[in-house]
Amino acid sequence: MISKFIDAHVHLNTLSSEKMEKMMEYNSGFLSINTNIPFFDEIEEQEKIILKLQKKYPGRIKYFTTFNFKKWGTPDFVDDAITQIQRGLDNGAVGVKIWKDVGFDYHFEDGSFVMIDDPVFDPIFDFIQKNKIMLIGHQGEPRNCWLPLDEMTVDSDRNYFKEHPEYHMFLQKQYPTYEDQMQARDHMLDKFPGITYVGLHLFSMEWSIKEVATRLEAYPNTLTDVAERVCHLQLQAKDNWEAVRDFCLKYQDRIIYGTDVIDDGNTPDEEIAARFEHLWNFHYDFFATENTLSAPEFRGEFKGLNLPREVVEKIFYTNAKETYGFSDF
């Protein structure tokens, strides 16, 4: 592992010390992302935890705020959302996140789904653009969610959607398609080209580095992270190692490392710390070495990308430091 790095996509929703001790042991930092997820605490409670952790570990933690939809369908929705965003920024957040609940969970009176490019959000995105606020987004799901089980590319998705057919969009024909989700996200970026945007999870286009590259080229103010999608890079490297390596080399200034580990109190503290340690080392081996590796998400072996050290340092540290405003540590 390199001498210092930033895990720039986590959800630190408890004050447990084990993960923080592991962070200090590895001379690392965290970007924690507040998210409007039903099984998470309220956004204000998520923020309180981060502020306490920041006080205890100065310089090691940054966070993103978000907004809820409690006033959805009322004339106050937009103003309430902007007020929530501003409150988070006033408390030190480095930007705002919009989550995949837009496109899945909210409807208009006629029953149609609310998509991220709908004009209802324009005043919010206009506020973000005018005030030069960074936006990060998780739109849609992995493309596997819309495929039959036998066509899915990784076993982790296949097993999950087999056990949870209610979330398997291939079976839920009334929901927007994967293409609908991606087109809406792209249209939002077309409308607000001044926003600095991080397309989380490889822009939700994890299945194709070509598609991710197309977005990075089309939208020069964007970056992407690899959180919870490294296995998809590994799968593509199994069959086309050179293309994945070239992708990382070409976009070395716009790729940010993260794990998407969730610490919400449902997993023992020592298991969370061990999870971080395992992923950090396994992912480092993939990006930095030429070792022959295997992953639990699919069958077969692949080779590490053996990227130059300066590229690894950008992906694991410098890009997050500069994008999210970390001080050097």
Question: How confident is the model at residue 53, as a pLDDT?
Answer: 98
Tell me the torsion sign for CA atoms 306, 310, 313, 319.
negative
Question: How confident is the model at residue 135, as a pLDDT?
Answer: 98
Look at the chain and report how many structural domains it folds into: 1
The DSSP bridge partners found for residue 302 are 293
In a domain, 200, yes or no: yes
d(CA 138, CA 199): 7
In a domain, 87, yes or no: yes
Residue among 239, 194, 236 at smallest CA distance from 211: 236
How does pLDDT run across 107-132, given as a tens digit for each residue? 999 999 999 999 999 999 999 999 99
d(CA 223, CA 136): 9
What six digits make up the tokens of 45? 């409670």
What six digits make up the tokens of 279? 């992923």
CATH code of the domain containing 207: 3.20.20.140
Report pTM. Answer: 0.97
In a domain, 242, yes or no: yes
How does pLDDT run across 302-326, given as a tens digit for each residue? 999 999 999 999 999 999 999 999 9
Q: What is the pLDDT along the chain (329 residues), one digit of tens a residue?
A: 899 999 999 999 999 999 999 999 999 999 999 999 988 999 999 999 999 999 999 999 999 999 999 999 999 999 999 999 999 999 999 999 999 999 999 999 999 999 999 999 999 999 999 999 999 999 999 999 999 999 999 999 999 999 999 999 999 999 999 999 999 999 999 999 999 999 999 999 999 999 999 999 999 999 999 999 999 999 999 999 999 999 999 999 999 999 999 999 999 999 999 999 999 999 999 999 999 999 999 999 999 999 999 999 999 999 999 999 999 89
In a domain, 163, yes or no: yes
Domain that holds residue 120: 5-324
Q: What DSSP state is assigned to residue 229?
A: T
In a domain, 329, yes or no: no
d(CA 201, CA 204): 5
In a domain, 192, yes or no: yes
In a domain, 94, yes or no: yes
Residue among 26, 29, 33, 41 at smallest CA distance from 10: 33
Question: How confident is the model at residue 94, as a pLDDT?
Answer: 98
Question: How confident is the model at residue 39, as a pLDDT?
Answer: 87
